Amino acid sequence: MPRQTLDPKARKLQAQELQARKFQSRKLRAKNLQKLHEQKSKKPEKPAPTKKQKGPEGDPRFRIIDTAMKRTDYSPDALIEVLHTVQETFGYLENEVLEYITRQLKLPLSRVYGVATFYHLFSLKPQGEHNCVVCLGTACYVKGGDKILTELEKFLEIKTGETTPDGKISLLTARCMGACGIAPAVSLDGKVAGKQTPESLLEAVKELIASGEAKKIKEKVEELSQTEQVYA
């Protein structure tokens, strides 16, 4: 079969088309190289400062809780120890903290709340300056624990689980203090007193309030005394 030859005009057009393709290819390559150079020479932007978040990410108190859990290797059996740490750190057991512990120790929320509400040393609400805990275990109840609680509620004008409006005293109850031999038992600021009566406990509560007021008055007098010495 004879080889076909292009006329001079067709060859010229073909050469021009090839030249145009090469030019476009070189132009595109130069553009890509320039873009790559700009990206390398461009300084990376500094990330915007993040705002301090609330909760586990932003609350430094959670670090204390994390340390307590790490110390026990996140063992579910260390729940009471961890709750004690929370109580000491936050003052009471916040719902957010209990949910956090539930996730970290891989425990049902019902179990965490069950332990938190069983022991009188734990509180789910902010407490007052003083705590008064009345035992309502079987032995204490039979020997008049319920009557003591009723008189306290009348005197303080609050219900169980509440704190007086001035923040002085929180009234709580316990299922058992382990002090059945001295029933009825009551705990005032962590100190257990046995064989109480409504009258004896009311007197003790009044003294507790008075001692707090006396301490504040003494501190105020000392503060004023120091101020007078400075300006003397």
CA angle 83, 85, 87 (to 5 degrees): 70
* Paired tokens of 81: 């120890």
Element of type H or E holding 152: helix 146-156
Beta carbons of 196 and 148 less than 8 angstroms apart: yes
Which pLDDT value is given to residue 118? Answer: 86
Beta carbons of 78 and 69 less than 8 angstroms apart: yes
At 8, which amino acid appears? P
Given this structure, which CATH class describes domain 130-218?
alpha beta
DSSP-assigned beta bridge partners for residue 170: 131, 163
Which pLDDT value is given to residue 228? Answer: 47
Cα(141)–Cα(226) distance, integer angstroms: 51
pLDDT tens readout for residues 180-226: 899 999 988 878 899 999 999 999 998 888 876 655 555 545 555 55
Residue ranges per structural domain of the chain:
55-118, 130-218
Cα(114)–Cα(83) distance, integer angstroms: 12
Which pLDDT value is given to residue 6? Answer: 57
Say yes or no to pLDDT of 3 above 70.
Answer: no
**Mean per-residue pLDDT, 19-44:** 70
Fold: same for 55-118 and 130-218: no
Q: What is the CATH number of domain 55-118?
A: 1.10.10
Cα(199)–Cα(7) distance, integer angstroms: 127
Poorest-confidence range of 1-5, 77-81, 131-135, 195-199? 1-5
- DSSP helix/strand/coil, 34: helix
Which pLDDT value is given to residue 57? Answer: 65
Cα(225)–Cα(230) distance, integer angstroms: 9
The secondary structure of 76-134 as a DSSP string is GGGHHHHHHHHHHHHSS--HHHHHHHHHHHT--HHHHHHHHHHSTT--SS---SEEEEE
pTM as predicted: 0.51
* Paired tokens of 144: 């008049």
